Structure 1
Amino acid sequence: MNKLLAQIAKFGVVGVICFIIDYVIYRIFNAGFEAVGFDNVFPQYYLISGFIAFTVSVVANYILSFKFVFERKEDMSRKKEFIIFVILSAIGLGINELCLFVGFDLIYKNWSWLNGIMSASFAKDVFFKFGATGVVMVYNFITRKIFLEKKD
C-alpha cells in the first residue's frame, strides 16, 4: 500500500509538471488565435490549442513517467511501449477534448446562470480545463498501471 501511495504521489508530481506544460502552451495558442482573429473564423479554436498542448505534454509525460513513476515491463519493447502509451494518450486526448467541448459549448453557453458567475474566458481557460485535466489524470494512471507497468 505504501508503494502505491508513493507511486501516486510521484505520478501527481509528474502530472503537475506536464499540466503546467500543457496549460502554458494551451494559453499561448489561445491568445495567439484570439490576437489574429481566428476565434471569429473557428469558434472552437481552443480545441486546436488543446490538441497542440496535449500532444507536447504527452511526450514529456512519457519520458518522466518511465523515469520516475512506472517500472517498465522487461518483456515489452520500447517501441511497443511507446505505441501503447500514445494510443492510451490519444484516448485521453479524446476525453480531454470531449470534456472541454461539453463543458464550454454545451453547458456554459446554454446555462445562462453560469454566465453570471464566471466569464467565458474563466470557464474555458480555467474551470473546464482543470476539470478535464482531473478526469484525464485518473484515466491515465489507471490505464498506464494496467497496460504498461511491470507486474509484481
Structure 2
Amino acid sequence: MNVPISAPYWLAAGERHPQGVREAWSRGAPAMLRTGLFFDAVRLSAEVVHARAGGGDRDAVERVFREAGVECGVIVNPARRWYYVLVPCGTAASWDESGTEALGTACFLGVPAPGRGGPPGAHWLLGPPLGAEGLCGPGAVKAVAVAAAG
C-alpha cells in the first residue's frame, strides 16, 4: 500500500501526544487514537462480513465493502475478529444499526500505521482516508451491515 507519509497524520491531530502516535506507527504498531474528535468508527463482526463474502479471502471481503460504496478507511483487527470503518465525527451519536457498534466520544481505537496493509496484527483492508472528506459515509457502512446480515 503506497500512502503519502504525511496524509493520514490528520487522524492524530487532536491527540495530546502526537509524537507518541508517530513513534508507535514508526515501529509498525497501532496507535490508540480517540474517536469523536476528527472521526468516529463503526465496528463490524468479521464472522458476519466473512459470511457475506463467502469466506475470509481478502479480495472477497474488499468486494463486500466496495460494492456498498466503502472505498477507504477500513481497519482489520484479526486478533479480535473485527472490522472498523472510519466515519465522520458525530455518526456514533445517532447510529442504531443492529449487530454493529459505533465508537464516538470517549472511545479509543487502535489505528495501524498508515502504510500497514497486511498482517500480522491490525492493518488497513482499505487504506486510510487522506482527510475528513475521505471518511466513509454512514449510509455506505449501513449497506455493508445490512448486506452482511442478510
- TM bin, normalised by shorter chain, reads under 0.3
User: Which structure has greater strand proportion?
Assistant: 2
Higher RCO (CA-CA < 8 Å; seq separation 6+): 2
Tell me the TM-score normalised to structure 1 length: 0.28
For the pair shown, the structure with the greater C-alpha radius of gyration is 1
Tell me the TM-score normalised to structure 2 length: 0.28
User: Which structure has greater helix proportion?
Assistant: 1
